[in-house]
Amino acid sequence: MPGERETVLEVRDLTKRFGGHAALDRISFTLERGRLNGLAGPDGAGKTTLIRILTGLMHADSGEIRLDGVPLAEAAARQGFIGYMPQKFGLYEDLSVLENLKLYAALNGVPKAEEPEVFRAMLRFTDLARFTERAAGRLSGGMKQKLGLACSLLGKPKLLLLDEPGVGVDPISRRELFVMVEQLMAGGMTVLWSTAYLDEAEECDRVILLDESKKLFEGPPDELTGKLKGRVFLLSGTADNRRRVLRHVLNEPFVRDGVIQGDNVRFVTAPELPPGEPEKLAREAGAVLSPAAPRFEDAFIDILGGGPGGESALAAGMPPYPDDGAIVVEADNLTKRYGSFTAADSITFQIKRGEIFGFLGPNGAGKSTTFKMMCGLAKPTSGRALVAGCELVRAKGSVRRHIGYMAQKFSLYDGLSVRQNLAFFSGIYGLSGRAQREKIREMVDIFGFGEILDANSGDISLGHKQRLALACATMHGPDVLFLDEPTSGVSPVTRREFWNHINGIVERGVTVMVTTHFMDEAEYCDRIGLVYRG
């Protein structure tokens, strides 16, 4: 038929189990030539397992895979048919950009005579020509992803598999990667882009949506979002009490999901919507109601039956702090130099009590350096980082107990169980005896650790790791909380859960400084600071 596209990849009833756990449960889908396909879903959905099976790095228990109409084993013998960029940086960090290109060119069978022209094209394409002699380990997150993409393209593959190329990469670099991939498709290449960012999935031609090893949806993104037509609303005029309004909205039985969007509250209703309920809700909130366009993340939450509600048991168990408008966190001309390189240059800001302050910027801008100085984990070259009037690099332990810190990467002890991590960190923060035992029980109930208490913390899911890190950072009731990309890689439902807790504890007077690569999360903040090149 006219307009039909040729099928490049066909997957039928693919199943993979690890012990008693199904990583993939009878997954079927097709990829058409020259299309950008999103493989979307949260951590643990089965995305990486699926891609590794497609590359031949892992074998399925059952099911069939055909590439260009022939079985995978036969097609895999054709060198260069598949290009693969793994989730974690898979290049050699001690080799330079050019040395990595040369190594992968040899692995992909690129003739020596063609190497100079191929390298010039790749360096121009990725804008890495200025960095050919720099060690790969010294590149920024976005530049590493560009180099990984370049190496995966050296064999001129027909099918390109990208395993979460946007994780940990700032929005600017993610957009640059998208533009590069769209250019590749102009030449007929087919791309499977795995992602936990549902705004990325929304940009794809087609989406395969996975959750807990099962396929929930396959098709164009607007086919799924179209099912929410007339069910998404915006409450405006809620700037002064948007967190309270959101909690009230989420507790309504006809509301499936809700988030803060700037000065507004956005919510999604159930399909069976009682007449006049959204209007009534707007009147109760003293807000103006208007319809809003559905987003792909709205549709995903809807498929799962809704978000986690609006109450935070974590906030309920924390002591209230005075609403006095005091300056609690302050950066005063904060500067950090490493030799001739200035990572943070005269950064100044103040954060009031009970405020969420978002610290934003691209990879390599100086966010993490500044964040570590604010927490007392790095000593400034000049300037001061003050929390409650004290410099943490010189402060006593009693002052440090006023803060909680959740690092960008899982920073607890992988060799300890969940129970042991809770006991260890509560002890560090000064809890002991009966108070310690009660607080551990409380965290187990709040975060649902009951079934994994004795599991090694390095073996639990990313969502549970992040919950454990948040529990350890807050169990001593800090009045200042530092969160470095707390929801990176977790499911949208877990992100909702985290922000319910953050909103709740801020209403108790806790002060929060947070970094994030999710721009919709930045809208939860009361104020933001933007840093670029230090």
| pLDDT tens by residue, 307-348 | 888 889 999 888 888 888 899 999 999 999 988 888 889 999
Tokens at residue 146, please? 């560009």
Query: What pLDDT does 389 receive?
Result: 80
Phi first, then psi, for residue 232 (nearest 5°) are -115, 130
| pLDDT tens by residue, 114-126 | 888 888 888 887 7
Query: What pLDDT does 395 receive?
Result: 64
Task: Calculate ∠ Cα 482-484-487, nearest 5°.
Answer: 115
Query: What pLDDT does 80 receive?
Result: 64
Mean pLDDT to the nearest integer, 355-363? 87
Query: What pLDDT does 367 receive?
Result: 83
Q: Is 336 exposed, middle or buried (0-12, 13-18, 19+ CB in 10 A)?
A: buried
Query: What pLDDT does 154 receive?
Result: 81
Query: What pLDDT does 43 receive?
Result: 74
Q: In the predicted model, is pLDDT for residue 398 greater than 90?
A: no
Contact in structure between 91 and 148 (CB atoms under 8 Å):
yes
DSSP 176-221: HHHHHHHHHHTTT-EEEEEES-HHHHTTSSEEEEEETTEEEEEE-H
| pLDDT tens by residue, 246-269 | 999 999 999 999 999 988 999 999
Query: What pLDDT does 409 receive?
Result: 67
DSSP 346-414: EEEEEEETT-EEEEE--TTSSHHHHHHHHTTSS--SEEEEEETTEETTT--HHHHTTEEEE-SS--S-T
Non-local CB neighbours of 340 within 8 Å, separated by 6+ positions: none
Least confident among 18-27, 92-101, 352-361, 396-405? 396-405
Query: What pLDDT does 504 receive?
Result: 92
For the chain, what percent of residues have pLDDT higher than 70? 95
| pLDDT tens by residue, 262-316 | 889 999 999 988 889 999 999 988 899 999 999 998 999 998 888 888 889 999 8
Q: In the predicted model, is pLDDT for residue 64 greater than 60?
A: yes
Mean pLDDT to the nearest integer, 91-119? 86
Round to whole Å and give the CA distance between 375 and 170: 22
| pLDDT tens by residue, 215-248 | 999 999 999 999 999 999 999 988 778 999 999 9
